[in-house]
Amino acid sequence: MASFDSALEHVLVHYRWVFVCFFLLPISLFYEVWLYTRNWIVFQLNSAPRQHDKKVRNVQRQVKQWQDSGRRTKMCTARPGWQTMSFRQPKYKKTMFNVNVNLVDIINVDEEKRTVLVEPLVNMGQLSATLTPLGWTIPVLPEIDDLTVGGMVMGTGIESSSHKYGLFQHICKSYELVLADGSVVTCSKDNNSELFYSIPWSYGSLGFLTAVEIQIIPATKYVKLEYKPVRSLDEAVSVFKEETLKTTQNQFVEGLMFNKEEGVIMTGNMTELHEANKVNEIGMWYKPWFFEHVRSFLKKGKSTEYIPLRDYYHRHTRSIFWEIQDIIPFGNNPIFRFLLGWMMPPKVSLLKLTQTKAIKKLYENNHIIQDMLVPISSMAESIQMFHDAVQVYPLWLCPFKLNNDPGLVHSSNNGDEIYVDIGVYGVPKVPNFHPVNTTRRIEEYVRKVKGFQMLYADTYATREEFEEMFDFSLYKQMRNKLNATEAFPDMYDKVNKHVRE
């Protein structure tokens, strides 16, 4: 029996693709169709706006229930951990009072005010599918379809347009929340501004989000994307900086480094028109994975393409950035793409749900997933630091603008400051990789340069170290003022490695 178990474990770890291709892909497809149909019916019945108040009252009712039951444990949302886009499962959900915040609808598009009002479980795929046919889009649309508005506000969201518009929180106009006392409040820059500024990055530790008003901008048919290969770290950094500063010329800026000296910097702009023979529908199922397509420009040289807007937004969805290559190694083979590519990608949530202990261990010891946000002045040094620490490529580079608003995350000077998100997702190539020690060394470096760590992945910082990274002054004040300290765990207690498995 033991040998059968270990044989099964071996197959599940080394041939994860068998399970994924024959089981998870078809299930993912059914799941997607079910979600899509359900949302379509909701839209057809136009029930979302009518139902919103009722759904908020239901959240209030649950908070009252928690109060009446003697507030024995703290509260969190009831969204199962496997459904989330974070690396780990939250352990705290097993012991805390779970509140259902099942608000999944787009409530209203206000073309005059240029805003869209959405509930927190609306995801990015749903938003872009709804807004682009109407001629609108949100200025910062994080790539992976399943990321939710709630997660983007309470955590953070970034995209290749962030050098112009900031992080996801910076395109949000107002939030509606249910607080620890069961009351409903709305907040914006001008109304309840202290609450408004303390919400982003607070990980649900101030209240339950029930609606978000987000800025919209006109959408066009295509993104004109220019690929610029670079041949040294110095060149990469100087081209990247130069293009980032051209906010009026470049609506999108993104870089992929394929090794320390070679990469491709991409700059894009929305456009209605296209040149003949230069349209590339990169989202089609038979197209190569986007990062491999980008790599090909190292050989082809500088080029321009016109990419349909939604294909551009979700360019990293099909290959889950480059994580899919560890799950379906032959997934970019043309035969696989033509035959089964239309079922890709497997749903991240289902991958998470079906992850075995051995796979978890493998990822724990042999994989790094981190996004570090550092001032652009430290970009070259940071890439070198990642190279020495892990040597993981491709390396994702995404610039963003950070202003000096109050709250947990803001620039260190008085004005706007440009930062860069350096994303490492993959298997470390250095011989001395140690998940805890290496990550702690990276965290220490990020604190030193006054950067921030994205918290969907593992953080090994102690509470003191964590408090050095973020500005807790307003946050703590608000936690006390709103009696959130009794009702919700604090931010550290929702993200540190001990509360995640």
Ligand X SMILES: NC(=O)C1=CN([C@@H]2O[C@H](COP(=O)(O)OP(=O)(O)OC[C@H]3O[C@@H](n4cnc5c(N)ncnc54)[C@H](OP(=O)(O)O)[C@@H]3O)[C@@H](O)[C@H]2O)C=CC1
Ligand Y SMILES: Cc1cc2nc3c(=O)[nH]c(=O)nc-3n(C[C@H](O)[C@H](O)[C@H](O)COP(=O)(O)OP(=O)(O)OC[C@H]3O[C@@H](n4cnc5c(N)ncnc54)[C@H](O)[C@@H]3O)c2cc1C
Binding site for ligand X (CB under 6 A): 76-77, 79, 84-86, 90, 101, 120, 142-144, 147-148, 150-151, 154-158, 203-204, 208-209, 454-456, 494
Q: Which residue minimizes CB distance to ligand Y?
A: 125
Q: Which two tokens stand for residue 137?
A: 């889009």
Output 229 or 489, the one with its CB closest to ligand X: 489
Chain residues 57-116 in contact with ligand LAN, contact rule CB under 6 A:
85, 87
Residue 323 binds ligand LAN (CB under 6 A): yes
What lies within 8 Å, CB to CB, of 251 at 6+ separation is 161, 164, 223, 268, 269, 270
> Which two tokens mark 491?
């931010």
Query: Among ligand X, ligand Y, ligand LAN, none, what binds residue 330 when CB lies within 5 to 8 Å by partner kind?
Result: none
Query: Among ligand Y, ligand LAN, ligand X, none, what does residue 120 contact (CB within 5–8 Å per kind)?
Result: ligand X
Encode burial over 182-197: b for 16+ CB neighbours within 10 A, e otherwise.
Answer: bebeebeeeeeeebbb
Q: What angle do CA 376, 494, 421 make, to 5 degrees?
A: 15
Do residues 443 and 453 make contact, with C-beta atoms less than 8 angstroms apart? yes
Contact by Cβ (8 Å): 316, 291:
yes
CB of 67 to ligand X, least distance (A): 17
Identity at 193, one-letter amino acid code: S
77 binds, among ligand X, ligand Y, ligand LAN, none (CB under 5 to 8 A by kind): ligand X
Query: From ligand LAN, ligand Y, ligand X, none, which one binds at residue 36 (CB under 5 to 8 Å depending on kind)?
Result: ligand Y
Catalog residues that contact ligand Y under the rule CB under 6 A: 32, 35-36, 39-40, 42-43, 48, 105-106, 109, 125-126, 129-130, 133-134, 145
17 near ligand LAN, judged by CB under 6 A:
no
Pick one of ligand LAN, ligand X, ligand Y, none as the site partner of residue 137 (Cβ within 5 to 8 A by kind): none
Interface pattern 211-230 for ligand LAN (x via CB under 6 A): --------------------
Shortest CB 142 distance to ligand LAN, Å: 7
Least distance from C-beta 321 to ligand LAN, angstroms?
Answer: 4
Task: Answer for the pair 457, 87: CB distance below 8 angstroms, yes or no.
Answer: yes
Query: Helix (H, G, I), strand (E, B), or coil: what is residue 490?
Result: coil
Query: Token digits for 153?
Result: 């506000």
Segment interacting with ligand LAN, rule: CB under 6 A, options 25-33, 44-52, 115-123, 348-356: 348-356
> CB-wise, 279 or 499, nearer to ligand LAN?
499
Work out the number of other CB atoms within 10 angstroms of the CB of residue 220: 17
Tokens of 235: 């060149």
Amino acid in the structure at residue 170: H
Query: What stretches of 408-472 show up as alpha helix (H) in DSSP?
Result: 435-448, 463-469
| Contacted entry of ligand Y, ligand X, ligand LAN, none for residue 320, CB cut-off 5 to 8 Å set by kind | ligand LAN
**445 Cβ partners below 8 Å, 6+ apart?**
382, 385
Q: How far is 398 from 421, CA to CA, in rounded Å?
A: 5
User: Is residue 390 part of the contact set for ligand LAN (CB under 6 A)?
Assistant: no
363 part of the interface to ligand LAN, by CB under 6 A? yes
Among 197, 291, 321, 475, binds ligand LAN (CB under 6 A): 321
Say which entry of ligand Y, ligand X, ligand LAN, none residue 35 contacts (CB below 5 to 8 A, set by partner kind). Answer: ligand Y
Residue closer to ligand LAN (CB basis): 9 or 323:
323
- Continuous H helices in 288-434: 290-295, 297-300, 309-313, 334-340, 348-353, 357-366, 379-389
Q: Pick from 185, 158, 115, 179: which is nearest to 420 by CA?
A: 158
Nearer to ligand LAN among residue 19 and residue 43 (C-beta): 19
Neighbours of 251 (CB within 10 A): 22
Tokens describing residue 385: 């630091």
Distance CA 138, CA 54 (A): 27
Closest CB to ligand LAN among residues 150, 207? 150
- Which one, 140 or 158, has the nearer CB to ligand LAN? 158
Q: Which does 200 bind (CB under 5 to 8 A by kind): ligand X, ligand LAN, ligand Y, none?
A: none
User: Closer to ligand LAN at the Cβ: 52 or 500?
Assistant: 500
Q: Please give the backbone phi and psi of residue 14, each rounded to the nearest 5 degrees, phi first.
A: -85, -20
Closest listed residue to residue 265, CA positions, set 428, 451, 395: 395
Binding mask 418-437 for ligand LAN (x = CB under 6 A): ---x-x-x------------
Question: Where do contacts with ligand LAN occur on this chain (CB under 6 A)?
Answer: 85, 87, 158, 320-321, 323, 348, 351-352, 355, 359, 363, 369, 371, 421, 423, 425, 454, 456
